[in-house]
Amino acid sequence: MFLRTESFQQFIRFYPIVTLLVSIHFLLWLWINLALPGGLYLFENMVGYNMFVEYGEWWRLFTPILLHISFSHALFNSFSLVLFGPALEKLLGKVKFIIAYVGAGLIANVATFYLEPSDFQHLGASGAIYGLFGIYLYMVVFRKELIDAANAQLIVTILVIGVVMTFIGGNINIVGHIFGFIGGVLIAPLVLPKRRGTYTYSSNPNRPTFNFRNILPRRLDRNSIFWIILIVLIIIGIFSR
């Protein structure tokens, strides 16, 4: 599910929404941090700032999903999206994937608005990414036919690490993480396929029709080992910023 075997061109073709979101992350970061015209104004008007939401700037409930404070922040969130987003984009389809991703991020930011003080500021895609984890956990618990035991265990392990690091890490929007995850769980039954059956995920780039069972390779080649190590490092990076 999380091992990438596609070439760069194949990845763009198979996962256009994930590609678009990652591109936006870095384009916005470059625009703001290279002092391009309007960059500072853009940043000031996109940050999630509860006080300004109270004044009616409702778009700040959406725009923080695409904005990052540093290159490492954008890098880790983008890597996590590349790792955890493609399988769901193929299973849900482009429109439902966007609804799930943005919807979970919106739920996280609305909760942040109501539960954090007026002077609270936040930005980053973590709430939306936790929403993806929420969808995966819903599959593990309620739609077992969509995911095999090995990947279910991997999802649970990732979530345990995420919960622990959310509460012990610094400078983290805890409310955003928790409610992004809850949002994913709530959205999952609305976007997952209604028809029950076996959805076998093939990581073969020449077979872009994806299902969700029998995902892990029987033998670990060098490419698989590389991706497993990368996933572990990215997970640690995501949750320890």
3-state secondary structure of 62: coil
Q: Is 68 a catalytic residue?
A: no
User: Is the pLDDT at 231 greater than 70, yes or no?
Assistant: no
Q: How far apart are CA 102 and CA 117, in angstroms?
A: 23
Stronger pLDDT, 96 or 76, i.e. the higher one: 96
CATH 3.30.460.80 fits 8-240, yes or no: no
In the predicted structure, residue 238 carries a pLDDT above the cut 60: no
Name which of 19-23, 142-146, 183-187, 224-228 the model is least confident about. 224-228
177 is annotated as an active-site residue: yes
Residue spans of the domains in the chain: they are: 8-240
Q: If you average pLDDT over residues 86-107, what whole number do you get?
A: 96
CA angle 4–228–163, rounded 5-degree value: 105
Given 68, 73, 80, 126, the catalytic residue: 126
Beta-carbon contacts of 161 under 8 Å, excluding residues fewer than 6 positions away, are: 235, 236, 239
Mean pLDDT of the region 69-80: 87
Task: State mean pLDDT over 59-73.
Answer: 92
| CA 45 to centroid of chain Cα atoms | 23
CA distance 98 to 63: 14
Please name which of 151, 137, 145, 148 lies closest in space to residue 198, comparing C-alpha atoms: 145
Cβ neighbours for 93, distance < 8 A, ≥ 6 positions apart: none
**Residue 3: CA atoms inside 13 Å, Cβ hemisphere, count?**
24
Reduce the DSSP state of residue 17 to 3 states and report it: helix
Q: Is the pLDDT of residue 130 over 50?
A: yes
β partners of residue 121 = 49
124 vs 126: CA distance, rounded Å: 6
pLDDT of 195: 66
Q: What is the mean pLDDT of the chain?
A: 82
pLDDT digits (tens, 9 = 90+) for 155-204: 888 888 877 776 776 678 889 999 999 999 999 999 999 865 545 444 45
* Tokens coding 73: 């922040």
**Whole-prediction pTM:** 0.81
CA 15/CA 18 separation, integer angstroms: 6
Asked if 215 and 204 count as a contact pair (C-beta separation under 8 A), the reply is no
How high is the pLDDT of residue 39? 84
Distance, in Å, from the CA atom of 154 to the CA atom of 181, rounded to the nearest integer, reads 16
pLDDT at 16 over 90: yes
Length of the chain equals 241
pLDDT for position 229: 60
Catalytic residue (one of 122, 177, 203, 240): 177
pLDDT for 209 equals 45
202-225 pLDDT, tens per residue? Answer: 445 444 444 444 434 444 455 555
